[in-house]
Each structure stands twice: as C-alpha cells, then as structure tokens.
C-alpha cells in the first residue's frame, strides 16, 4: 500500500510496516527501513503526485501553474498537513516529472514482461 493510505492503520497498530518501497526513509516512519536496507534493493516503487496539463499547453501557462504549485507547497501549513498524511513535499520541474513518468513506464513494462503478463 502507499504510505498515505496505510499510515492510519500503522499508527493505530493494525498494521506493522516491514519496509518502505522508497529510495530513503521517511520522516513519518523514521524507524522503518527501506526495502533496500531490508535486503531487497530492487523494490523501489514510491508513489507520487503530479500536476498534468494537455500536451499543447503553452509553456507560459505551464510555468505559471508550476510557480503557483510551488508557492502552495512552500506553505508551512500545507507541508504539515501533507506530512501528517505520510506525504513528503518534493516540488520539481515539468521536465523532472516527464523524466520520472518515462522511467516509471520503463520499470513497469519490465515488471509486466518479467511476470509474463499479456494484454487481454
């Protein structure tokens, strides 16, 4: 499960987090190791949230949206609310998001192929 969904259950004691599928530990559960630390370095599939726009959106509009999103994410109350739900603020550029999505597609395609899954 992704951390924001699992966190209330972990905090209530209904679930025990064995490891995080992320590159580094989170401040929300600092005692929980990453899967790499637990001996499974290939298990690094963290969840993320991004803002997307239609393909032909002018760069000036993209830049304005990005500035507004970064300003909102810089707000202390916003950061605190996101952290309380298990999310960490990591604003980036539109190019970084494009690169991340491309990498995720590659990783998931390899997983699907390795599992022998076929479209139905």
Quote the pTM value. 0.71
Percent of the chain past pLDDT 90, that is, above it, reads 60
**What angle, 0 to 180 degrees and rounded to 10, lies between the N-to-C axes of helices 76-84 and 59-74?**
80
* pLDDT digits 0-9 by tens, 61-95: 999 999 999 999 999 999 999 988 888 888 999 99
Assigned CATH for 1-46: 3.40.190.10
Alpha-carbon dihedral sign for residues 116, 109, 21, 65: negative
- What is the CA angle 51-53-109, rounded to 5? 75
Measured between alpha carbons, how far is 36 from 117 in angstroms, rounded to an integer? 26
Q: Show me where the domains of the chain are located.
A: 1-46, 48-120
- Specify the pLDDT at position 41: 84
Tokens coding 94: 């539109």
């Amino acid at each position: 499960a992704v951390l924001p969904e699992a966190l209330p259950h972990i905090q209530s004691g209904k679930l025990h987090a064995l490891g995080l599928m992320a590159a580094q530990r989170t401040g929300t559960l600092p005692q929980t190791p990453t899967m790499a630390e637990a001996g499974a370095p290939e298990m690094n599939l963290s969840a993320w949230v991004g803002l997307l726009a239609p393909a032909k959106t002018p760069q000036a509009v993209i830049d304005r949206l990005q500035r507004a999103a970064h300003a909102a994410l810089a707000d202390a109350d916003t950061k605190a609310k996101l952290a309380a739900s298990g999310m960490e603020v990591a604003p980036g550029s539109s190019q970084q998001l494009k690169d991340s999505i491309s990498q995720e597609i590659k990783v998931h395609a390899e997983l699907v192929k390795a599992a022998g899954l076929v479209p139905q």
